[in-house]
Amino acid sequence: MTLPATLSSVSPTTPRNILALVCILLSLAMLYPGLTQPMMNLTIEATLPLLGKMEFYNKTQSIMESITSLLESGNRLVAILILLFSVVVPILKAIFLLLALALPIAGVRYYLHQIVLLIGKWSMADVFVVGVFMAYLAGSAHPSAHATLHDGFYYFTAYCVFSILGGQLLKVVD
């Protein structure tokens, strides 16, 4: 990362930066329900002779509930990775974006923005994983397995989109 030759301060009140701020604030508003609202329901059922249709598994969880469940079941590494990429990185990204917008020192703003651009590629990781899992189940992976998306998925996706837009719109140097 090299500093641009003409590193001058860009006003946080330019129309582009105001739009970036709106996107960042909208992303934060979407993040909380994206983490706490149910994201997906997984149901496994089968029709058995004489017994009829039986449900063997039915679970609806949010991202935060999934982290807790994984910790309780001893899957610490997976829980930590989900916590890192779904909670810690999004919060750090929002803080860095807001600081890059508000700080008066152009060099610091530039480096914060560069960090956001580096970590920004992980923003859609969770959405991608859930999408792949849904595609797997929709592709008749097993006729007794069914998955449905819930509001948490859409909130988290909206967080990702607004967060990426905010980072891309933010102008910190001329």
Does domain 15-169 fall under CATH 1.10.230? My reply is no
Contacts of 174 (CB under 8 A, 6+ apart): 6, 8, 10
Confidence of residue 173 (pLDDT cuts 50, 70, 90): low
pLDDT tens-digit profile of 63-84? Answer: 899 889 889 999 898 888 888 8
For the whole model, what pTM was predicted? 0.80
Q: Could you give the CA distance from residue 124 to residue 142 in angstroms, rounded to a whole number?
A: 27
15-36 and 89-102 are packed helices; what angle lies between their axes, rounded to 10 degrees?
Answer: 160
pLDDT reported for residue 148: 82
Per-residue model confidence as pLDDT tens digits over 102-153: 887 878 888 888 888 888 777 667 667 666 655 655 555 567 777 788 999 8
Q: How far apart are the first and last CA of the chain?
A: 16
Alpha helices in 37-150 (DSSP H): 63-72, 76-83, 89-102, 106-119, 125-138
